[in-house]
């Protein structure tokens, strides 16, 4: 009878409290593990986004450099590889050029790593480049030629 009176008072036993705390602790641990995983995935996504933007910028820069003939050895006519180039604050890259036999384009193999020590093991990604001048480079060349000719023979408009 005494046990029934204590139970009717609405109290919990020590075992019930310990089991409830264990269930609560397991739930909190699962939530914290999930948050840690989510933060790691978010950080990896940000790094991937940064590398992607850096690669896009590198591709554009390489296209400009190749169309201007910057990586072409004038003596041998071969393309000179770029051994180490800073891609962003967190990554470096290596560029290996491979000419097509028909001369219609240039294949650049780009390897990206977090440091120069990681470049030998980095996987290479292909990027097609054209040895022809880009549209922007063509416009710049035209403007330079026009400015050079215009400065020498500028017509006098009579104050108009």
In this structure, are residues 119 and 94 in contact, taking their beta carbons and an 8 Å threshold?
yes
Comparison of pLDDT for 48 and 38, the residue scoring more:
38
pLDDT in tens, 69-121: 888 888 888 888 989 888 877 788 999 998 877 766 788 899 988 888 988 99
State the pTM of this model: 0.58
- For residue 144, give both structure tokens: 């330079």
pLDDT in tens, 112-159: 888 889 889 989 989 888 766 666 666 777 777 788 877 665 555 555
> Which residues are within 8 A (CB) of 41 and not within 5 positions of it... i.e. 6 or more apart?
none
Comparison of pLDDT for 37 and 154, the residue scoring more:
37
pLDDT value, residue 18: 96
Q: How far apart are CA 104 and CA 106, in angstroms?
A: 7
CA distances from 11 to 19, 22, 55 (A): 15, 18, 65
Comparison of pLDDT for 101 and 36, the residue scoring more:
36
Domain boundaries in the chain?
A: 11-147
pLDDT in tens, 39-69: 999 999 988 888 888 888 888 888 888 888 8
> Which residues are within 8 A (CB) of 107 and not within 5 positions of it... i.e. 6 or more apart?
97, 98, 99, 100, 126, 127, 128, 129
């Amino acid at each position: 009878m005494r046990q029934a009176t204590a139970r009717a008072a609405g109290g919990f036993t020590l075992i019930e409290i310990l089991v409830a705390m264990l269930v609560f602790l397991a739930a909190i641990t699962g939530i914290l593990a999930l948050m840690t995983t989510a933060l790691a995935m978010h950080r990896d996504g940000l790094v991937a986004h940064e590398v992607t933007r850096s690669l896009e910028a590198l591709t554009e820069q390489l296209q400009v450099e190749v169309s201007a003939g910057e990586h072409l050895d004038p003596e041998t006519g071969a393309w000179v590889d770029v051994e180490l180039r800073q891609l962003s604050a967190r990554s470096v890259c290596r560029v290996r050029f491979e000419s097509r036999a028909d001369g219609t384009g240039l294949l650049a193999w780009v390897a990206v790593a977090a440091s120069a020590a990681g470049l030998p093991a980095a996987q290479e990604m292909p990027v097609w480049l054209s040895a022809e001048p880009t549209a922007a480079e063509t416009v710049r060349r035209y403007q330079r030629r026009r400015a050079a000719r215009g400065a020498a023979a500028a017509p006098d408009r009579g104050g108009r």
